[in-house]
């Protein structure tokens, strides 16, 4: 059965940049299930969760390094007559073209999809050489296939006469590529070919193979591709783009005649492509991607940057290149990096001018001084190295003595150099790889275009994005660039207010690019304190994974949340951003202490008012979806209705957070709530069914493993379940490291271990005056030490109006004296339970309190009031403190969830 890749891949401009592999796997598996009713046999895809279904895929068998290059052996290892999908990469045979498709191969391979990288033995040797610093686990399924050029019969004599030997040698690959694709297509259910635009002619036979689809990968900027397209189609462009492109130099001035002839052959062979892929992103070239779609009349997907957009300090420190020892000693943004790529060779005269210009600028520099790769040759050994005789006499000695420069005459790790904090500028030929690397790392450019697409990229960098300056004017390309001009350009970029503005602009653009390939998370809590607390603790845990995290709700409820994190280590919430959303005023009745039901009906108006958050949250999600590759929404299960619009935002996934015990979900009893709440809960259930991709529980298998299995099987079989609790810290109270200074903690320090009972009934419980008196007398007569949190239940808005003052029997506080502490405001419950003096907990058995008590090893004296509390009271947990404190399965579940949402 054939499928179009249009259905495999979502519209990437909506799914965000660099989500190609994620989107590819997700969309494919969903459509396979829809059209075949099952999962693909022997699929090498990883575990993928489509909305509404969880599918387990087979993992590929281990293979030796030799096996990676053997297609037939790979087919045998699959142990299937027909496997599922294969990706065939056909790069153009020059280093600047090999690198981006090699990185794309790495990304696709990380999803366990088999990737076949085609090339000549020489080009594949170059590609493998570039893999030398990579972790082999990053590309477990890449297989290199060396092509042997075919006969000249497929290329006419007139064409061979117009083209040089290098281009002719590429055209001779048409026959072996066709044979390879035929072999692969007989083994795999679908073959997807991703070829460089410069290889379109040699893969044109793929259209005749029924289960093979082709996608054209552009290694030039979308801006340059648009300029070429409009020259061919003659279609008008809107202003000001039309005026900018009209001023670009014609291709006859940037390419030689052989290259132009070769390019025209490729354009004539691309009619059967439906999609163009670009190593770019909307943040950099969104306008040009859209205009290119209009010009080409087909989809154009921005799937870049295919390179890492961040280099960790740990990774940089592992690099052994000697330039990093020198860079580490330099000041922030103080060094200009000078490199002209792998296809450029400067004359000796120009090298001298450049050397003098760098020296006279009095700015620090790293200069990669090497000749161009030999076209079509073995560029690992035959590259022309920089020569001492090319430099002015005494130049190297002077800069070494002054410590102002570092000259590298061999290969240099460009991306890692650009990522180093001391790099403040990049003098470049403006090849597109270099441009997008410089943008990703936030480094402004000094443009020195040499040939091909570079003059057009220069216009994009300097006039459109305005993140660079021009060193070499294209109009004066035949003239020597003087040392004085180089000196002035370097000083302008590195040591001027204007240069600082360029640095600010490119830093902002870099930040946008990095966000576009990151996942962001947003928390949407129910406006009740027990529900707020759990998502606050979950926010703290997710923040530790360096994920940008947003916490959204009405202003009054976020004020409550912010009060609760006062005293937390600020590092633990450093990536949390609070969003106060508008909501109309609502009634905030006082709790009724004499009500026949203890359910907190006074909170229902605030619950109903949350429906007004629907449109603000939708707007917020739409904004975040434009900035992040994927937006993960973690919402309280009782506020699902605010997310009813999320199915229209493709890169948003919603996960329901259940704030009650799994046991209570499995055995829910309506008699413990009001009819009004039952109806409210029913409505939320209906919306959960629409938006949900999975369920999270503040529990763990050590406590509720049996019920988690029951719920997963009977109530939530369509969604993945994660038991990620306890969310609260599980270490006992440590006074030395605590930021809590509540007075009760000083009193606890004076008590014997396990001698104090902690009495607290949460934020939703109100007692009658009579019951309070009975409790007071009972505690007094018990002759046990106690801490009693005596406060009225929360209203819908705890910050408005007056609260009831709870009265105790006359003379009570004087009689209990130092044997008891009465707290009439907020108390640090977790720290109290974690104190060694606390030996028991009289509680309403809200699930937060149960989990905190279990985590701290404190037995509970149950006094259930409403909702899930009666069921929690039934749930018996014995001797579980140690297994919870030690982590175990709970930590693995949290790691599993983080891995899933960042996949």
Catalytic residue numbers read: 531, 636
389 — phi, psi (to 5°)? -70, -15
User: What are 791's two structure tokens?
Assistant: 């406060």
Strands 820-823 and 838-843: unpaired
CA distances in angstroms from 709 to 672, 717, 722, listed in the order given: 25, 10, 11
497-516 helix and 614-627 helix, angle to the nearest 10 degrees:
110
Give the three-class secondary structure for 599. coil
Q: Half-sphere exposure of 663 toward its Cβ, with a 13 Å CA cutoff?
A: 21
Give the three-class secondary structure for 846. coil
Length of the chain: 903
Dist. CA 542–CA 538, nearest whole Å: 6
CA distances in angstroms from 623 to 301, 617, 618, 649, listed in the order given: 20, 10, 9, 10
For the residues of 784-795, what is the DSSP string, one character each? -EEEEE--PPP-
Dist. CA 356–CA 618, nearest whole Å: 58
CA distances in angstroms from 126 to 90, 91, 131, 373, 602, listed in the order given: 14, 12, 9, 11, 71
Q: Which helix (H) or strand (E) holds 302?
A: strand 299-302
The residues facing 83 across adjacent strands are 188
275: Cβ contacts below 8 Å, ≥ 6 apart: 5, 6, 9, 215, 216, 298, 299, 300, 301
Please, are residues 600 and 591 in contact by the beta-carbon 8 Å criterion? Answer: yes
First to last CA, the chain: 28
Please, are residues 58 and 44 in contact by the beta-carbon 8 Å criterion? Answer: yes
Dist. CA 331–CA 403, nearest whole Å: 13
User: What are 581's two structure tokens?
Assistant: 């959303």
895: Cβ contacts below 8 Å, ≥ 6 apart: none
Q: Which helix (H) or strand (E) holds 758?
A: strand 756-760
How far does CA 111 lie from the centroid of its chain? 15
- Nearest CA to 102 among 72, 76, 83, 125? 125
Give the three-class secondary structure for 59. coil
Please, are residues 146 and 119 in contact by the beta-carbon 8 Å criterion? Answer: yes
Please, are residues 522 and 631 in contact by the beta-carbon 8 Å criterion? Answer: yes
Give the three-class secondary structure for 887. coil
User: What are 604's two structure tokens?
Assistant: 């229902």
Strands 445-447 and 423-428: parallel
Q: Which helix (H) or strand (E) holds 723?
A: strand 720-723
Please, are residues 446 and 496 in contact by the beta-carbon 8 Å criterion? Answer: no
For the residues of 355-395, what is the DSSP string, one character each? HHHHHHHT-EEEEE-BPPPPTTS-TTTS--B--GGGSPTTH
Alpha helices of 463-595 — where are they, by DSSP H?
483-494, 497-516, 529-543, 555-565
Dist. CA 413–CA 109, nearest whole Å: 23
Give the three-class secondary structure for 86. strand
Please, are residues 93 and 376 in contact by the beta-carbon 8 Å criterion? Answer: yes
According to DSSP, residue 248 is labeled S
């Amino acid at each position: 059965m054939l499928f179009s890749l249009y259905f495999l891949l979502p519209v990437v401009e909506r799914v965000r940049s660099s989500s190609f592999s994620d989107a590819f796997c997700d969309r494919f598996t969903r459509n396979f299930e829809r059209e075949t009713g099952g999962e693909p046999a022997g699929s090498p895809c990883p575990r993928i969760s489509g909305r509404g279904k969880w599918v387990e895929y087979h993992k590929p068998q281990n293979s030796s390094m030799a096996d990676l290059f053997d297609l037939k052996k790979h087919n045998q290892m699959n142990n299937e007559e027909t496997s599922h999908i294969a990706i065939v990469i056909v790069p153009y045979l020059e280093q600047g073209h090999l690198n981006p498709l090699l990185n794309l191969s790495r990304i696709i391979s990380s999803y366990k999809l088999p990737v076949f990288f085609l090339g000549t033995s020489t080009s594949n040797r170059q590609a493998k050489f570039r893999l030398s610093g990579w972790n082999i686990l990053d590309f477990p399924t890449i297989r290199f296939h060396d092509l042997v050029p075919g006969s000249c019969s497929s290329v006419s004599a007139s064409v061979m006469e117009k083209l040089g030997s290098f281009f002719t040698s590429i055209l001779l690959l048409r026959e072996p590529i066709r044979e390879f694709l035929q072999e692969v297509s007989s083994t795999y259910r679908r073959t997807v070919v991703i070829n460089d635009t410069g290889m379109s002619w040699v893969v044109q036979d793929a259209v005749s193979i029924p289960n093979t689809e082709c996608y054209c990968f552009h290694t030039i900027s979308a801006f340059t591709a648009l300029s070429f397209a409009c020259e061919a189609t003659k279609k008008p462009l809107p202003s000001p783009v039309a005026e900018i492109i009209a001023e670009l130099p014609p291709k006859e001035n940037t390419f030689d005649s052989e290259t132009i002839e070769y390019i025209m052959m490729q354009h004539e062979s691309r009619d059967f492509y439906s999609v163009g892929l670009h190593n770019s992103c909307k943040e950099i070239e969104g306008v040009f991607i859209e205009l290119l779609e209009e010009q080409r009349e087909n989809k154009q997907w921005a799937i870049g940057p295919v390179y890492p957009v961040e280099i960790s300090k740990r990774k940089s420190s592992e690099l052994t290149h000697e330039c990093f020892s020198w860079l580490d000693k330099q000041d922030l943004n103080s060094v200009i990096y000078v490199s002209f790529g792998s296809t450029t060779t400067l004359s000796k005269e120009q090298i001298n001018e450049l050397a003098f210009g760098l020296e006279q600028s009095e700015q620090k520099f790293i200069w990669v001084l090497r000749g161009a790769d030999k076209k079509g040759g073995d560029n690992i050994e035959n590259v022309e190295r920089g020569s001492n005789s090319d430099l002015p006499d005494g130049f190297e000695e002077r800069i070494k003595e002054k410590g102002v420069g570092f000259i590298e005459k061999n290969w240099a790790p460009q991306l890692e150099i650009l990522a180093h904090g001391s790099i403040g500028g990049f003098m470049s030929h403006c090849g597109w790889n270099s441009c997008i690397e410089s943008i990703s790392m936030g480094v402004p450019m000094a443009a020195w275009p040499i040939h091909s697409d570079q003059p057009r990229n220069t216009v994009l960098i300097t006039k459109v994005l305005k993140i660079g300056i021009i060193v070499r004017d294209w109009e004066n390309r035949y003239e020597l660039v003087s040392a004085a001009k180089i000196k002035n350009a370097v000083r302008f970029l590195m040591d001027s207010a204007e240069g600082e503005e360029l640095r600010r602009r490119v830093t902002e653009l870099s930040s946008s690019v990095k966000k576009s390939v990151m996942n962001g998370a947003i928390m949407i809590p129910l406006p009740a304190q027990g529900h707020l607390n759990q998502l606050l603790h979950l926010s703290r845990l997710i923040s530790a994974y360096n994920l940008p995290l947003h916490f959204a709700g009405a202003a009054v409820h976020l004020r409550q949340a912010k009060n609760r994190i006062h005293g937390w280590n600020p590092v633990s919430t450093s990536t949390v951003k609070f969003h106060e959303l508008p909501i109309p005023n609502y009634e905030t009745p006082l709790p009724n202490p004499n009500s026949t039901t203890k359910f907190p009906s006074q909170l229902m108006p605030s619950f109903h008012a949350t429906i007004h958050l629907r449109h603000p949250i939708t707007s917020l999600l739409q904004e975040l979806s434009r900035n992040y590759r994927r937006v993960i929404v973690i919402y309280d299960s009782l506020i699902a209705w605010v997310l009813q619009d999320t199915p229209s935002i493709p890169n948003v996934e919603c996960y329901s957070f259940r704030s009650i015990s799994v046991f209570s979900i499995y055995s829910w009893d309506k008699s413990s709530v009001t009819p009004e709440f039952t109806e409210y809960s029913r409505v939320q259930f209906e919306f959960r069914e629409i938006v949900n991709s999975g369920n999270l529980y503040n529990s763990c298998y050590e406590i509720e493993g049996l019920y988690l299995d029951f719920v997963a099987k009977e109530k939530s079989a369509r969604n993945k379940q994660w038991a990620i609790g306890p969310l609260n810290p599980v270490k006992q109270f440590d006074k030395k490291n605590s930021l809590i200074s509540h007075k009760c903690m000083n009193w606890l320090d004076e008590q014997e271990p396990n001698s104090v009972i902690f009495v607290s009934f949460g934020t939703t419980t109100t007692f009658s005056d009579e019951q309070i008196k009975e409790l007071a007398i009972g505690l007094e007569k018990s002759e046990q030490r106690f801490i009693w949190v005596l406060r009225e239940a929360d209203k819908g808005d705890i910050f408005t109006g007056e609260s009831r003052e709870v009265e105790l029997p006359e003379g009570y506080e004087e009689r209990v004296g130092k044997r008891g502490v009465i707290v009439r405001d907020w108390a640090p419950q977790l720290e109290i339970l974690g104190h060694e003096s606390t030996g028991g907990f009289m509680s309403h058995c809200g699930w937060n309190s149960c989990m905190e008590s279990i985590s701290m090893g404190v037995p509970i004296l149950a006094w259930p009031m409403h909702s899930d509390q009666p069921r929690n009271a039934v749930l018996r947990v014995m001797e579980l403190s140690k297994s919870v404190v030690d982590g175990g399965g709970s930590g693995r579940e949290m790691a599993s969830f983080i891995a899933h949402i960042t996949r």
